[in-house]
A and B are shown apart, each in its own frame.
Chain A
Amino acid sequence: MSAAAPTPGPAPRSPAEPDAPARSSAAPDATAWSSAAPDATAWSSAAPAPAPRRARPRWQETLGLLARNPSAAVSAVLLLLLVLVAVFDETLAPSGPNEISVADRLQSPSLEHPFGTDDLGRDIFSRVILGAGVSLRVGFLAVAFALVVGSLAGLLAGFYGRWVDDVLMRAMDVLFAFPAVLLAIAVLAVRGPGAGNTALAIGIVYIPVFARVTRASVLGVREEVYVRASRSVGASDLRLLTRHVLPNAAPPIIVQTSISLAFAVLAEAALSFLGLGTQPPNPAWGLMLAEGRGYIDLAWWLAFFPGMAIFLTVLCFNLLGDGLRDVLDPRQRTLMSGGGR
């Protein structure tokens, strides 16, 4: 367990750490955060600090720090835009996803069709916009499922320890032993293709990741003074878990959520690409890539734009995840970076 060695070291560790030009104002908060990460006393609202130091709510402070990290801030804005695009896709798309017009097939990008048209004359720009909804829905559903199930397992395992821990974490080890892509493929083989099943398949794959992250984080919080104090005045387990343990164990889970979203979008694209995820004629990015593959030397735009959309979305989630880690949890390095890769 070399990772546990406390080496705060003068050298910067996180790759996407902000430049810290605004030392004067940013530094105090930043140091308070980093020193608080593993034994998160500062995280607790009930910290033994006598003075009421709660000038701003914690999440505002987090947002403020995040805004100072340019790549994370830009990513967050782009993702917000993407969500808006996905919500208003019908209004934004110039034409329907399946408006076939054989006369306009395989047109190169132009003013009328910014991303060109595909082999059936469908407008690729519209399909990329409508594909955003598919990708994000599956991604969010998958991660939400993994987050709820995995974190619950990790929370119980970490909090109760002993046999609960053994049973739950052994089960997670079993799940983790399956290769990610194949496990998802196997789930789809059993349940049949489609968007809902794709989300379920990807969600199952990420359960053990969330369970491990949560358990590790809960273990660090469980024996904190405020937890023991609350226990000694007779707080119930439920109250301890929801009021003290979970909020203080949350930062690594939040970071993991952002990173998992990146991989979930990627996995959805891969599964659709293989023909197992979203089914045609729905406009999923992976599916469009697969369809465009046959025309790659004739019409590069068929595969290029959906691929670019996947790439940028995944990149933004990754950068946001890195930024969140720097702010929320600077000492934790990617516990299992590339869980699925």
Chain B
Amino acid sequence: MVVLAGVSVIVFALVHLVPGDPVRLALGTRFSQETYDALRERSGLDQPLLAQFSGWLGRALSGDLGVSFRSGDTVTSLIAERLPATLTLAFASILVALLIAVPLGILSALRPRSVVDRIATVLSQIGISVPEFWMAIVLILVFSGTLGWLPSGGYVPLSEDPLGWLERLVMPAVVTGVVSGSVITRFVRSSVLEALGSDHVRTAQAKGLPGRQVFTWHALRNALLPLVTVTGVQLAYLLSGVVVVEIVFSWPGLGQLALQAVQARDYPVLQGAILLFAVVFLLINLVVDLLYTAIDPRIRR
């Protein structure tokens, strides 16, 4: 709660930290005094600061994030419009990431220092270091340029054109999924290794349980805990951090909305997007904590 309060103060302060007059900046150089006054009044910037904050906070809590300086649409509707695309991409990416990371991480933990392990280590190191937007450009060049297999970007809703939806989802999801997957692979590897070396696994082996059973019930279960955390962190990151990939693939998500808001100096929209992301981040952390309790009986009191 304290964190949430701090977050809202900072988000609110954002508009007021802008040097100069945000309304004037938003309107550009040519505007009449009437439009200026109207916009200023509508965004409540003519009121005292404290009244502005309490009013803004009250409205934000009831789901009203203000009105875009540019289009005049409510920020809530703009965000709602973009949310499906961002959610689709984030979940598709985390799916790709887990599909890469879990098998690869387990394989390299089972045979440390083997060829598989070495290749996995090199690959994940590369995946962590490669700039996503560069990888995106290269993929576009290969798969939509040279080979012509996939469209280079855009988004269509699943309900309208399932095949087109999938075609457009593949490349962005792979790009972000590979990067997240590389991070997660390292976590899976080290947590499985740690679990395999722990006392209770050795005890289970000493009892003469079959290897497979020891692995799934004793090692893997314990290795799951860090995996949940890192997946949560990555999901939070994917929901917000894929701005660059969204731009390259013309994916109409929230990141693109936020960037357009910056370019158009549309501060209410930027405020709304950032507030939403911060809240989502805190929510994901909460869910991770709850999952911990579900997986790890030691935490249950």
Contact = CB atoms under 8 A, between A and B. Distances in A.
Interface of A: 2-3, 5, 7, 9-16, 170-171, 173-174, 177-183, 185-186, 188-190, 262, 266, 269-270, 273-276, 286, 289, 293, 296-297, 300, 303-304, 307, 310-311, 314-315, 318-319, 322, 333-334, 336-338, 340-341
Contacts of B244: 181, 270, 273-274
Contacts, number: 178
Contacts of A293: 137, 248
A196 B121 CA distance: 35
A315 B129 contact: yes
A181 B244 CA distance: 9
A275 to B, nearest CB: 8
The A interface is mostly helix, strand or loop, or mixed, namely: helix
B7 interface: yes
Contact of A296 (B141, B179, B258, B281): B141
B193 interface: yes
Q: Which residue of B189, B190, B226 has the most chain A CB atoms within 10 A of its CB atom? A: B190
B2 A2 contact: no
A225 to B, nearest CB: 29
A178 B277 CA distance: 7
Contact of B197 (A11, A179, A189, A276): A11
Nearest to A319: B125
A341 B128 contact: yes
Interface string B109-140: 00011000000010011101111111001101
Interface in B230-262: 233-234, 236-237, 239-241, 243-244, 247-248, 255, 258-259, 262
B196 interface: yes
Interface of B: 2-3, 6-7, 10, 14, 17-19, 112-113, 121, 124-126, 128-134, 137-138, 140-141, 145, 179-180, 183, 186-187, 189-190, 193-194, 196-199, 222, 225-226, 233-234, 236-237, 239-241, 243-244, 247-248, 255, 258-259, 262-263, 265, 267, 270, 273-274, 277-278, 281-282, 296
Contact of B6 (A9, A12, A174, A181): A174
A311 B126 CA distance: 8
Contacts of B145: 296-297
A179 B262 contact: no
Contacts of A183: 274
A136 to B, nearest CB: 16
Given A185-B243, A338-B128, A10 B197 contact: yes
5 contacts: A7-B198, A11-B112, A12-B112, A16-B121, A311-B131
B247 A174 contact: no
A179 B281 contact: yes
Contacts of A303: 134, 137
Contact of B2 (A10, A170, A178): A170
Contacts of A276: 262
A187 to B, nearest CB: 9
A289 B258 CA distance: 21
Contacts of B134: 289, 303, 307, 310-311
A179 B186 contact: no
Contacts of A171: 6
Nearest to B120: A15
Contact of B196 (A11, A179, A297): A11
B278 A273 contact: no
A190 B14 CA distance: 7
Given A170-B6, A274-B244, A311 B262 contact: no
A13 B3 CA distance: 35
A264 to B, nearest CB: 13
A341 B241 contact: yes
Nearest to B17: A190
Given A174-B3, A303-B134, A185 B193 contact: no
Given A12-B112, A171-B6, A303-B137, A181 B241 contact: yes
A333 B190 contact: yes
A217 B183 CA distance: 23
A314 B262 contact: no
A95 B240 CA distance: 40
